[in-house]
Amino acid sequence: MAEKRNRKNNAGRFEKKELPGKNPMMPRNGPFNLLLIAGVIITVMLLVQQLTPRVDTLRYDEFVAHLRDGHIEKVVLSETDISGQFKQEWAASKGQKAAKEFVVTYRSGGVLDDDLKKLLSEQIEKGGLKVEQSKERVWLWNLLGMLFPLVLVGLFLYLMFARNLRGGAGGMLMSFGRSKHRLHDKEKVKITFEDVAGIDEAKEEVAEIIEFLRNPKKFQRLGGRIPRGVLLVGPPGCGKTLLAKAIAGEADVPFYSISGSDFVEMFVGVGASRVRDLFKQAKDSSPCIIFLDEIDAVGRRRSASFAGGGHDEREQTLNAILVEMDGFDTDDQVIVMAATNRSDILDSALTRPGRFDRQVVVPLPDLKGRMEILRVHAKKVKLGPDVNLERAARGTPMFSGADLAAIINEAALAATMANKDFIEGADLEEARDKVRWGRAKKSRVIDQKEREITAFHEAGHTFVQSILKEADPLHKVSIIPRGPMGGATFALPEKDRTLFTRKYCMALLQVCFGGRIAEEMFCEDISSGAQSDIQQATRIAKQMVLTWGMSEQLGPVSYEADAGLAETFYGLPPEKEYSEKTAEVIDSEVKRITDEAFNKARELIEHNRDSVERIAKALLKYETLDAEDVNIIIAGGSLDKPTVADLLAVEQAKDKKTAEEKK
């Protein structure tokens, strides 16, 4: 009975928090806000009234002159000033429709002296002047004019500080320590597990957690306990946050979502206070889920004391998270989920069992996963009959889910700009190349000599890629500049590789060096175009020696440096754990492997000079060749397709026809 009563109370608290139109972060100062607005309006009206020139302002000597000349009809004397009204006849002679009032500026020595009294008496005797004594208490109005702005400022300070310092629900100052989480439910989030593809294993693990929250007794029957935390680990763009949104769409429990950076502010102690507030609200709404996105912002490995005080606030926040996660009662059905792409830098106290019990890996999608992801995003667009999603999935190895979504979107944009009715296969190909290597620079003017060097460079890559069986199959080659590259050779892997054999690595090295060798052999010079190829080849050779144990001289020993505190906190390079003599051997082995691949690629190109030259000339003529075109050229055949000059002539004819139609 007590358990039912507690669940009923929890449900009641959750329903109360989800009342529509209620926002706990919004201040509830309705009457005070109305009073503040009214005070501002009155103040503005008083200022306008004071600044509006309704009467003439006369100097004292001007007033005396008008009084002697008989231009004044009435004079009003008060304690502080003199005012009055001109005669209507005199005002009409000055072009005024009605008599105008005036006020006399203050004169030292008092308002009314003997000379003025005598002058006023003379004008009264002539019968042309009326003198009145003002009964208005000017000092009272002046006092009210000074007090009203002070009252207004006091009211403003009360609203901004006094009420906030009391820590009410509308306290803006006290809200610094309140959590900035977002509460999601099925009505707010439309994403479900059907919208998440390519990560089936991760979906199964989080689905188990949702089932535990819906029916905890089903798991407790055999003595199992609820997991404290689940850490989603994977590269950027693989669907960690999307998976969390799908959990919010599937779960029937409160889902608190917050980013790791939302905990940290410029004020010390704010992050820890927000952590405590978040977990307090989560416990009150149990059962529920807390999702911490990008937890590495606050969960980094804690440094030693010599690191300085620059990270004290972050470490206090992390300590608060550790305490709260370890302080759950057995009856609190609260699961903490977090996402990060840097699990290697997280504090070990955060990832130990009892806090984050599980680490769910969300990897880059494989071929099947890429197919499913492309199908999910393809439902939102119109595809043409020539679109082959399987070919697109094969041509996008190491692409994340976000990359695949961007490909579909870029293809839709390109088809729209071309006024097409649907997305064609060429749009999808161009979108893939644009996402990975950048936009094609077709309008860029290139020197003919540079164009020839680029053509022979890519021809060297293309031939080696086509001949070597261990390398990935050729997809296409182009000398159209794209991004930072003057040209590119694209491969189309037949499968996803989880293992890299030595033969495959040596084939990659030969493909990398094919461009430099072709430049040297056919252009009688070398260029900087091989920069990225040399960098990639060096990186592969180092991994073969340092990490994969593929060195004949060093054997199966790992010499990869461990990233310690120096790199994590100070950005310093990792310390080497081997001697200088071993470093010399490593350098010599890397050089030996690259030289071996370079010599093999040179020998291959020297024995097939004619084929490489034909590929280069075809690139100069057509700019882009696919794998079938390259195979025909290597076999000695000729291509039956329009050249670049033919396509330019067609475009010019279309432009000319369009211009004539507009005329």
Catalytic residue positions?
458
- The DSSP secondary structure of 505-532, one letter per residue, reads HHHHHHHHHHHHHHHHHHSSS--GGGHH
Instruction: Identify the CA nearest to 170 among candidates 277, 278, 16, 26.
Output: 26
482: β partners? 440, 485
258: β partners? 292
d(CA 134, CA 118): 20
- The DSSP secondary structure of 298-344, one letter per residue, reads T-BPPPPGGG-STTHHHHHHHHHHHHHHHT--TT--EEEEEEES-GG
Residue 193: half-sphere exposure toward Cβ, Cα within 13 Å: 14
Cα distance between the two ends of the chain: 87
d(CA 320, CA 350): 11
d(CA 494, CA 474): 10
Which residue type does 339 have?
A
334: β partners? 288
383: β partners? 423
d(CA 408, CA 414): 10
Instruction: Identify the CA nearest to 148 among candidates 51, 46, 31.
Output: 46
Is the backbone of residue 482 left (phi > 0), alpha (psi -120 to 50) or beta? beta
3-state class of 230 per DSSP?
strand
**549 alpha-carbon distance from chain centroid:** 40
d(CA 477, CA 462): 7
Residue partners of 502: CB distance under 8 A and separation at least 6: 544, 550
d(CA 408, CA 131): 90
Q: What is the signed CA dihedral for 573, 578, 582, 584, rounded to 10 degrees?
A: 20
Which residue type does 544 have?
M
Torsions phi, psi of 363, nearest 5? -85, 175
Q: What is the signed CA dihedral for 303, 305, 308, 312, rounded to 10 degrees?
A: 70
